[in-house]
Amino acid sequence: MDLKRLEEIKNIPDESLDTSDIPELDDHFWETAKMIKPITKKAISIRLDSDILDWFKGQGKGDQSLINNILRSYVNHQENKT
């Protein structure tokens, strides 16, 4: 999202926002709510073949997330084989 659009959104008065489709959170909601902690990521250095890295970078923004998702899919597949 560009900065101009973010500024436009920021300047919308609260009273102009329609929140009628958002349900109120009552005590019952919190009785069944569960804390889900995100999986943390670690910065590492990894050696990849240059053509492989070029291909991922050529896919556009999010190349590292794409690599992570492919590795996660592989790991999940391997875990389900046993």
What is the SS3 assignment for 35-48? CCCCCCCCCCCCCC
HSE, side-chain direction, 13 A CA sphere, residue 65: 4
CA 60 to chain centre: 16
Give tens-digit pLDDT for 8-49. Answer: 999 999 999 998 898 888 888 888 888 888 889 999 999 999
- Rounded (10°) angle between helices 50-58 and 63-80: 110
Encoding tokens for residue 43? 């910065």
Encoding tokens for residue 32? 């069944």
pLDDT at site 27: 83
CA atoms of 39 and 55, how far apart (whole Å): 26
